[in-house]
Amino acid sequence: MKKVILLSAAVLIMCSAFISGDGDKIPSATLKNLDGSKINSSTFSNNGKPIIISFWATWCKPCKKELDAIAENYADWQKETGVKLIAISIDDARSASKVVTDVKTKGWTYEVYIDENQDFKRAMNVNNVPFTFLIDGTGKIVWSHNSYAEGDEDKLYENVQALAKGEKLKH
């Protein structure tokens, strides 16, 4: 009996992979702003324009490469599409204080929040960083991507442009 239940549980878990959750709203988690205040992730908005949510950490080299690459063209991206990037640091107490020094030194102009005990990371089902999401103008999660390879930022921007035009994204 136990084995049957176990097996059915396992099958359910496998099947659930095919229940596409695309088009869901951003789940609710409490994040820390760099000025010490708190914000609920479900309140993220950008006046009907797309949002990029990028999970990173101060100890994650590929994450910083990706955010550096985007930073080079971020001003143009904003002008052309109105997109906003929200960078979510998953640094814990050991390195959370390095988030503000890294961001300022690099001169990133993103909205940055700290997910200190990774509640938001879990709510968004992020396995590892870097992990990037795209949110459309109505606040729905429409695209996600894990890891970073050189040039990924160009693909990301193609998707942002499509979203800004109100087009559906290809997967």
Partner 1 sequence: MVFSNSAKKIVFCFVLFCFGYFMRSQNAVTDELNSIHGNFQLDGQYYEADSLIGAPKVPEKFLSNVFGNINYSKGKFSAGVRYEAYNNVRQGFLPSYKGQGIVNRYARYRTDLLDITIGNFYEQFGNGLMLRAYYEPGLLYDNSIDGARIISNPYKGVTLKGVIGKQRYFFSTGAGIVRGVDGEVNINELFDSLLGKKKTRVILGGSFVSKYQADQDNSLILPQNVACYGGRMNIIRGGFNFNTEYAYKINDPSADNNKSYKYGDALFSTISYATNGFSILFQGKRIDNMSYRSDRNEGLQNLLINYLPATTKQHSYTLFALNPYATQLKGEIGFMGELQYKVKKGTLLGGKYGMEITVNYSQANGLKQYGVRDSTTNMTFYQTKWDFSEFNSKNKVISTPTGTVVTNNENLNYYHDFFIEVNKKFNKKFKATFMYGNQFYNRNIIQFNSVNAGFKNLRTDLALIDLTYKYKSSSSIRLEMQGLFTPDQSVETNSNLVAKGNWATALIEWWPNSNFFMAVYDQYNYGNPNDKLKIHYYLGTMGYNSGPHRITVSYGKQSAGIFCVGGVCRVVPASNGLTLSITSSF
**Region of 45-53, 74-82, 150-158, 160-168 interacting with partner 1 (CB under 8 A):** 150-158
Q: Which of 53, 85, 112, 126 binds partner 1 (CB under 8 A)?
A: 126
**Region of 46-54, 79-87, 88-96, 157-165 interacting with partner 1 (CB under 8 A):** 88-96
Q: How far apart are CA 58 and CA 32, in angstroms?
A: 16
**Region of 47-55, 78-86, 99-107, 159-167 interacting with partner 1 (CB under 8 A):** 99-107
For 39, residues 6+ apart whose C-beta sits below 8 A from its C-beta are 30, 31, 32, 33, 113
- The position carrying tokens 């999401």 is 133
- The DSSP letter of residue 93 is T
The site for partner 1, by CB under 8 A, has a size of 67
Instruction: Give whole-number Cα distances, 151 to 71, 87, 102, 163, 168, in Å.
Output: 13, 19, 23, 19, 22
Q: How far apart are CA 114 and CA 33, in angstroms?
A: 7
Distance of closest approach, residue 116 Cβ to partner 1, in angstroms:
6
Nearer to partner 1, 84 or 115 (CB): 115
Contact 57, 25 (CB under 8 A): no
Nearest CA to 39 among 47, 26, 29? 29
One-letter amino acid for residue 93 of the chain: A
Distance of closest approach, residue 59 Cβ to partner 1, in angstroms:
4
Q: Is 117 in the site for partner 1 (CB under 8 A)?
A: yes
Distance of closest approach, residue 79 Cβ to partner 1, in angstroms:
19
Contact 29, 120 (CB under 8 A): yes
Q: Is 119 in the site for partner 1 (CB under 8 A)?
A: yes
Q: Which residues bind partner 1 (CB under 8 A)?
A: 1-2, 5-6, 8-10, 12-13, 16-17, 19-21, 23-25, 27-28, 35-38, 57, 59-61, 72, 90, 92-95, 97-98, 100-107, 116-119, 122-123, 125-128, 131, 140, 143-147, 149-152, 154-155, 171
